[in-house]
Amino acid sequence: MKTELKIYENNIEKQFNTSTWGQQFLNNVFEVDLNKFKIYHCIDNHKGIDLLGLGITSLRKALMDFVNEQFISIRQSLLSQKLERETYNVSKKLYTFYLSTKRKCLLDNGLIQLQDNLLNAKKDLDEEIILINNFKSDKSSKEKIIYYKENENKKASEGICPVLKQKCDRIGNKISSSDKLLAQREIDTVKEEIKEINNMIRAEEEAYNHFYAIVENIEMKLRKTKECIMKLKEAEKFSAYKYTAKDVQLYTDSIKILDSFSSYYIAEWLSNLGIILNDLLRGLNLSVEFSVDKDFIRIYDNGQLLNYSQISGGQKKFLGVIFKLGILLQQGINSGIILFDEGLSEMDVINLYKLIDILHNLSNFQCIIIYQNCPKDLQDAAYINIERKNGESKLIC
Residue 292, phi then psi, degrees to nearest 5: -95, -5
List, for residues 48-57, the tens digit of each pLDDT value: 445 666 666 6
Helical ranges in the chain per DSSP H = 19-30, 34-36, 56-87, 101-157, 169-174, 177-237, 245-280, 313-330, 349-360
List, for residues 296-329, the tens digit of each pLDDT value: 778 888 888 887 777 777 777 778 788 888 887 8
The overall average pLDDT reported for the chain is 77
Count of CB atoms situated within 10 Å of the CB of 57: 10
What is the average pLDDT across 259-285?
Answer: 82
Q: Which residue has the higher pLDDT, 294 or 243?
A: 243
pLDDT at 37 over 60: no
Residue 388, phi then psi, degrees to nearest 5: -115, 120
Note the pLDDT of residue 310.
75
pLDDT band for position 39 (cuts 50, 70, 90): very low
What is the average pLDDT across 161-173?
Answer: 55
Burial profile 97-128: b = 16 or more Cβ within 10 angstroms, e = fewer: eebeeeebeebeeebeebeebbeebbebbeeb
Q: Which of 288, 293, 265, 341 is nearest to 68 (CA)?
A: 265
- pTM, two decimal places: 0.46
Q: How far is CA 192 from CA 180, 186, 189, 282, in A?
A: 18, 10, 5, 134
How many angstroms separate the CA atoms of 43 and 32, rounded? 16
List, for residues 206-257, the tens digit of each pLDDT value: 999 999 999 999 999 999 988 888 888 877 777 778 888 899 999 999 988 8
Burial profile 157-179: b = 16 or more Cβ within 10 angstroms, e = fewer: eebbeeeeeeeeeebeeeeeeee
